[in-house]
Amino acid sequence: MSRIAWLLFALLAAVLIPLLLGGREMLVRLQAYPLPMLMQLFAMIGACWVINAARLRLLLGDQVSRLSRLKSFAVILATEFAICATPGGSGGPLTLMATLGRSGIQPARSSAVFAMDQLSDLVFFFCALLGILLYALFQNLDDYLEWMLVVSALLVLVGLSLCLGLARFHRQLLRINGRLLSRLNVQPATRLRWARKLLLFLAAFADTCKLPWRTLAGVFLLTCLHWGLRYSVLYLALRGLGVDLQWAWSFLIQMLSLSAGQFSLLPGGAGAAELTSAALLAPMVGKSTAAAAILIWRAVTYYFYLIAGGPVFLLMVGRPLLRKFMRLKQA
């Protein structure tokens, strides 16, 4: 119950921030927002789910036959819901492992799929930032936009550096981790079990990296399509409100806002993402317009994920766990 209460509190804070920022003028702007464009935004998110399901099937490689196309789509919905409903998105990999495990896919393989998926995302953001940087070289940027660009680049570089460091020095990290666990008086059997799971994950990740180059290229292409669509939502929301902000700057605003939401450890970054995006967007377009755009953006890319993915999550993860609990009670 505490987790549900925490999620409800975060959702309430996420709605109140745009309302307090925009006031009545924001409500007037929302009422005038064209309905066809709003439906287009929701359709774009639906396309993102289809793209992610295709990406999942490519990463599964020779085990894709265990998962139908419809179930792949359902797995994506449940996983996205868990990412949005848990602090820092921590429930995402656990949900992916649980749902794929019911199709006979080992946890090591499903966790490797999730890791490769995240690595593909990082590579996309790195390439996108390089493109924006080249574009910015031919523009007269003020200090505000330069600051956003530098911070975004640093975030991506730190993420890529951590991934490369883990890949390069994983053996040393295993030794350090073993010594640390030993000093914490963790039982040898437990340390051995954790080490075995980690080695299985590394082996599965290495196998995923050895997929045919055409498959990996297809995964990256789908990654670009997914994030290109998802990060166009705020841009199109502003267009519908009569503001023509360049796509590159809306991309940076979303990236920094969602990063702040992740670091806040609030479910889905609710509250922190709205506060950060309001601070970044309001100086460019005004408070009421920024508030209306943020509310539309988060309704499409956050609340919609919770509403659509919640029932699927309960059917695929919550319901089986509840049945298991009832069997234990009866025993």
> pLDDT tens digit string along 170-196?
566 666 666 666 666 666 666 667 667
Taking phi over 0 as left and psi of -120 to 50 as alpha, with beta for the rest, 207 belongs to alpha
C-alpha triplet 265, 48, 40: angle, nearest 5°: 110
pTM: 0.84
DSSP string, 237-257: HHHHTT----HHHHHHHHHHH
Write down the residue that tokens 């940076």 correspond to: 252
Residue 40 confidence class, pLDDT cut points 50, 70, 90: very high
With pLDDT > 90 as the criterion, what percentage of the chain qualifies?
25
Determine the residue type at 238.
L
Q: Is the pLDDT score of 86 beyond 50?
A: yes
Q: Which pLDDT belongs to residue 314?
A: 87
Cα(229)–Cα(250) distance, integer angstroms: 13
Cα(305)–Cα(298) distance, integer angstroms: 10
| Two structure tokens written together for 104 | 């006979």
CB within 8 A of 37, min separation 6: which ones?
236, 239, 240
Q: 51: buried, middle or exposed (CB in 10 Å: 19+, 13-18, 0-12)?
A: buried
Query: Tens of pLDDT along 120-139?
Result: 988 898 888 888 777 777 76
Domain locations in the chain as residue ranges: 2-330
CB within 8 A of 63, min separation 6: which ones?
105, 109
- Return the closest-CA partner of residue 227 out of 77, 17, 53, 44: 44
Q: Is the pLDDT score of 147 beyond 80?
A: no
Q: Which pLDDT belongs to residue 190?
A: 64
Q: Which pLDDT belongs to residue 214?
A: 92
Residue 145 confidence class, pLDDT cut points 50, 70, 90: low
Residue 225 confidence class, pLDDT cut points 50, 70, 90: very high
Q: Which pLDDT belongs to residue 194?
A: 66
Q: Which pLDDT belongs to residue 8?
A: 72
Cα(25)–Cα(18) distance, integer angstroms: 11
With pLDDT > 70 as the criterion, what percentage of the chain qualifies?
77
